[in-house]
Amino acid sequence: MARGGANTEQIGSGFLEQLAGYGLTTIEVHYYMPDHPALLQMFAFQQYDLAPRFPRLGGFLDHWRREIDAALHSIRIAHRHLIGPQEYRAVNGEITIN
């Protein structure tokens, strides 16, 4: 670590993404297979994404349309910024434990 600099090796990528404005996004994709249209299935996952445009979700849906045989029925999105401006502030100092 450079003196006075941040050690990015110890900071998780999720934390850095949150500082850049990304929030935790939960996505539920409801779909059905063409050969069983009466059977509605659900796929859920979480990722960090930028609201309100959701570019990562858009990339996932583009992949789905190109590569997956299942037909999309509906998508439900929940998004939350976990770190806000009031919760993060830079400090000028370092405490070493052990």
Examine the pLDDT at 1 and tell me if it is beyond 60: no
**Around Cβ 29, how many Cβ atoms within 10 Å?**
21
Confidence check: pLDDT of 71 > 70: yes
What percentage of the chain reaches a pLDDT higher than 90? 54
Least confident of 1-5, 29-33, 39-43: 1-5
More confident site: 7 or 53 = 53
Binned at pLDDT 50, 70 and 90, residue 76 comes out as very high
Residue-level pLDDT at 30: 96
> What mean pLDDT, rounded, does the chain reach?
83
How far apart are alpha carbons 81 and 52 in whole angstroms? 12
- Residue keyed to tokens 């996004």: 25
67 is written with which tokens? 């590569």
**Distance set, CA 13 to CA 19, 49, 64, 81 (Å):** 10, 13, 25, 15
pTM of the model: 0.68
Share of residues in the chain with pLDDT > 70 (%): 76
